[in-house]
Every structure is written in structure tokens, then in C-alpha cells.
Amino acid sequence: MTFEHVDSTSLEIPAAPFSDPSIIPQFPKGKVPRHIGVIMDGNGRWAQQRGLVRTQGHQAAEPVVFDIIAGAIEAGVRYLSLYTFSTENWRRSPSEVRFLMGFSRDIIRRRVAQMDAWGVRVRWAGRRPKLWKSVIDELESAMERTKHNTVIDVVFCINYGGRAELADAAAAIANEVRDGKVSGDRVTEKMIADHLYNPDIPNCDLVIRTSGERRVSNFLSWEAAYAELDFVPELFPDCGRTVLWRSIDDYVHRDRRFGGVKK
Ligand code: IPE
Ligand code: IPE
Ligand code: MG
């Protein structure tokens, strides 16, 4: 399947976010992944290739994020997890970390009305310690404002790490064991799933990583344990909804067996 190119910069105008219906691919009914995770990688290389500074690569990513959200809505995706800042990204230079914190806070503030108008329920997955309070405040206000929206849940994974999420779940369960609420030899997979950051969100079906890197870098370790993986060559600022649709098109042709045998 090939898709016409959609100019992602058009998304900077919130009033006209969606494509001409004739170019939206018709995926087989019931086959579209319910939950997609995107590892948005390659901003720094994109900037470097143009003689720009890394932060300009992050700035170039903003309209792409919203083009992908629009494309996910058009395709009928119900949950979209966006890897925005990992628990390992604190290792970057203080100035890049500072930029990414301020930029995340500003994007959420700038775009919340647009997301609300699109029917997006804003969510957050991540750890509180170390994360800027202004980022948490902006996330909490966006989550409150959009909590009744049902078109798509967009999870901003900020100060997120799969291992941190599992360690936090284990600590919460350990507290319940200490308090006598559960018995230590009765810890089940369901109990762990129930203690993740957003226990109501279903497992991730498809993880897309941009920029050609083929690793998962501590993303959705539990939720994506059985996800299909797609490593696409485009640097994130060169992406848009057509890259998402191409991955979905590839996904719908895959055979997911979950350890069973094809009937
Ligand atoms: C992804 O792009 C954005 C974040 C991790 C915040 P990078 O900044 O990792 O870009 P590259 O991988 O260095 O090109
Ligand atoms: C993964 O990208 C994290 C995010 C996209 C937020 P990185 O660029 O940080 O990952 P590595 O260093 O290539 O594993
Ligand atoms: Mg990277």
C-alpha cells in the first residue's frame, strides 16, 4: 500500500487537522492495533544533518507529534503511547535536559485546547521524583481538562522507564504485603498489571521506533511484552501520519500467535 504525502506542517493550524477522507487508508475491520507505542527517535541526528543544534531537532518534532496523533485518530487507534523523555535521558547535558523539560511543559500547555477539541484524553506515564513540578502541573491540568474525552487516549511517557514502572509496582505490592492486605506468595501477573502507572490501558500491540535504531530502550517493558515491533528508517522530524499508517498496514498483515498454534 502506498499513501499520499500529507504535509505535517499543516497541523500547526488547529482548525484543519484532518485528512481528506479519500486518502485515509481503510484497514480491515477489527485489525487496527488498539494500542500503539512510538519511540520518537532521531531528533538530534536530524538537526545535526542540517548544521543545527540538537534542540532545533526537538522543536521540529512538535508538529510531527500532532500529525501522528491526528493520523492515529483517523486510523481508529484507541491508545497511543509517546516516548517523550526516558528515565535514562537525564544523562544528557544539563542544557538539553532543561530544554526538554521546558519544551514538554510548553507543548502540553500550547496544545491542550487542540487535543481537547480532537477528543484526546491526555494521560501521563512516568515517575514523579526528579521530574519538573511545572511539567507535572501542566500534565495534571491537561488530564483533568480532557478526562471525559473518548476518541483516543494519548499517553505522554515522561520520566518513564519500563524497569522503573515495574520497580514501582513491586514496591507498591510490597507495601500491601507489609500491611497484611495480600500474602507475599500470592503475587500474580494480574496484581503487577494492576499496579502499573495506568492499569486501565490495555497491552501495547505495536511499537514503532523511528530513526533506524533497533532496540526498545526501556519502553513499555510489561505492556509491550508481546507487541509487534516495527523499526522504521525515518528520523522522527521527517515522520508524520503516513509513516504511522504504513506501520499499521504492515501490522494488519502479521500473524500474532501468542505462543499458540495458528488455527
Ligand atoms: C529523540 O531524539 C528525542 C528524545 C529522546 C527526547 P534524540 O534526541 O534521541 O535524537 P538522536 O537519537 O540523538 O538523533
Ligand atoms: C529513547 O530514545 C527515549 C525516547 C525516545 C524518549 P534514546 O535516544 O534516549 O535511546 P537510546 O539512547 O538510543 O537507547
Ligand atoms: Mg536517540
Predicted model pTM: 0.94
Quick check: is 150 in a domain? yes
- Please list, in sequence order, all residues whose beta carbon lies within 8 angstroms of the beta carbon of residue 28, skipping any fewer than 6 positions away: 252
Q: Specify the pLDDT at position 18.
A: 82
Determine if residue 209 is labeled as part of a ligand binding site: yes
Quick check: is 181 in a domain? no
Residue 174 has pLDDT above 90, yes or no: yes
Lowest mean pLDDT among 11-25, 119-133, 144-158: 11-25
What's the pLDDT tens digit per position in 234-253?
Answer: 999 999 999 999 999 999 99
In which band, very low, low, confident or very high, does the pLDDT at 16 lie, cut at 50, 70 and 90? very low
- Helix, strand, coil percentages (3-state) for the chain, rounded to 5, are 45, 15, 40
89 is catalytic: yes
Quick check: is 85 in a domain? yes
259: left (phi over 0), alpha (psi -120 to 50) or beta: left
Quick check: is 20 in a domain? no
86 C-alpha to center of ligand 2: Å? Answer: 7
Determine if ligand 2 sits within 6 Å of the CB of residue 156: no
Burial class (CB in 10 A: 0-12, 13-18, 19+), 40: buried
Question: What residue's CA is closest to ligand 1, atom 6?
Answer: 85
Q: What is the CATH number of the domain that holds 69?
A: 3.40.1180.10
Query: What Å distances lie between residue 215 and 171, 229, 232, CA to CA?
Result: 27, 10, 12
Q: How many other C-beta atoms lie within 10 A of the C-beta of residue 263?
A: 4
Strands (E), the chain: 35-39, 79-86, 120-125, 152-160, 206-209, 228-231
Q: Specify the pLDDT at position 263.
A: 67
Determine if residue 243 is labeled as part of a ligand binding site: no
Out of 7, 20, 41, 153, the active site residue is 41
Quick check: is 19 in a domain? no
Please tell me the distance from the alpha carbon of residue 113 to that of residue 145, in angstroms, as a whole number: 9
Quick check: is 80 in a domain? yes
Q: Which ligand is located closest to the Cα atom of residue 217?
A: 2
Residue 35 has pLDDT above 50, yes or no: yes
Determine if ligand 2 sits within 6 Å of the CB of residue 41: yes
Q: Specify the pLDDT at position 231.
A: 98
Element (H, E) at 160: strand 152-160
Q: Specify the pLDDT at position 29.
A: 86
Please tell me the distance from the alpha carbon of residue 2 to that of residue 219, in angstroms, as a whole number: 29
Quick check: is 263 in a domain? no
What's the pLDDT tens digit per position in 93-105?
Answer: 999 999 999 999 9
Residues with CB under 6 A from ligand 1: 40-45, 85, 89, 100, 211
Determine if residue 132 is labeled as part of a ligand binding site: no
Element (H, E) at 53: none
In which band, very low, low, confident or very high, does the pLDDT at 15 lie, cut at 50, 70 and 90? very low
42 C-alpha to center of ligand 1: Å? Answer: 5
Q: Which ligand is located closest to the Cα atom of residue 54?
A: 1
Domain span at 229: 35-161+203-253
**Mean residue pLDDT across the chain:** 93
**Total tally of structural domains belonging to the chain:** 1
Query: What Å distances lie between residue 160 and 8, 99, 128, 200, 242, CA to CA?
Result: 27, 17, 9, 17, 27
Q: Measured in whole angstroms, how far is the alpha carbon of residue 180 from the centre of its chain?
A: 36
Quick check: is 213 in a domain? yes
The total number of residues written for the chain in this structure: 263
Please tell me the distance from the alpha carbon of residue 7 to that of residue 71, in angstroms, as a whole number: 12
